[in-house]
């Protein structure tokens, strides 16, 4: 009741970078070509990156997300190396990298106070216990999407 369209389980992902969000088709094509060239020159190694859940939080007033943190500095370095490669193609509009999984986008119709109280109880429950998530770079793709339930893999970023 608090969210727009329900997100399908098979679309759950951690976004590395919004490389072409809100830009023209021409800029999207240019960014895609630059990233493809960067990956061809120096593909991302096949590796696992261990993350842990941090907290469920409001993301810029539009969505509820599960924030993630690397389990240690070594894992952060692996994640930052990937982010830097993509950010070198186009600097992200956000002031800092926030690894997260989007849980849902708030309903454009809003929701009442009773729904807010129920949502807060769910968030409190989710924040009680953390868990680890392992990211596999073999599943790292440059993708196009039409909405949060429809993604198309364009090319792999790994060797």
Q: Could you give the percent of the chain with pLDDT greater than 70? A: 100
What percentage of the chain carries pLDDT values higher than 90?
74
pLDDT digit string, tens, across residues 42-82? 999 999 999 999 999 999 889 999 999 999 999 999 999 99
Cα 149-31-5 angle, rounded to 5 deg: 15
Band of the pLDDT at 155, cuts 50, 70, 90?
very high
Say if residue 139 is exposed, middle or buried (CB neighbours under 10 Å; 0-12, 13-18, 19+).
exposed
Q: What confidence score (pLDDT) does residue 72 get?
A: 98
Render pLDDT for 136-146 as a digit per residue (tens, 0 to 9): 999 999 999 88
Q: Let me know: does 15 contact 81? Beta carbons within 8 Å.
A: no
- Name the residue with tokens 């039409």: 146
Q: Which pLDDT band, with edges at 50, 70 and 90, does 104 fall under? A: very high
Task: Tell me the whole-structure pTM to 2 decimals.
Answer: 0.88
pLDDT for residue 33 is more than 80: yes
Count other Cβ atoms within 10 Å, centred on residue 59: 16
CB 106 within 8 A of CB 58: no
How far, CA to CA in Å, does 58 sit from each of 80, 117, 119, 120? 23, 15, 12, 11
């Amino acid at each position: 009741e608090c969210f727009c369209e329900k997100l399908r389980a098979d679309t759950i992902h951690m976004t590395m970078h919004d490389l072409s969000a809100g830009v023209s088709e021409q800029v999207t094509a240019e960014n895609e070509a630059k990233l493809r060239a960067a990956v061809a020159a120096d593909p991302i190694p096949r590796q696992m990156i261990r993350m842990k859940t941090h907290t469920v939080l409001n993301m810029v007033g539009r969505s509820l997300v599960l924030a993630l943190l690397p389990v240690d500095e070594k894992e952060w370095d692996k994640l930052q190396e990937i982010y830097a490669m993509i950010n070198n193609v186009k600097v992200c509009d956000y002031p800092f990298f926030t690894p997260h999984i989007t849980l849902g986008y708030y309903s454009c119709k809003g929701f009442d106070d009773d729904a807010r109280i129920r949502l807060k109880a769910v968030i409190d429950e989710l924040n009680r216990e953390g868990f680890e998530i392992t990211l596999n770079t073999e599943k790292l793709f440059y993708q196009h999407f039409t909405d949060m339930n429809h993604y198309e893999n364009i090319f792999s970023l790994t060797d």
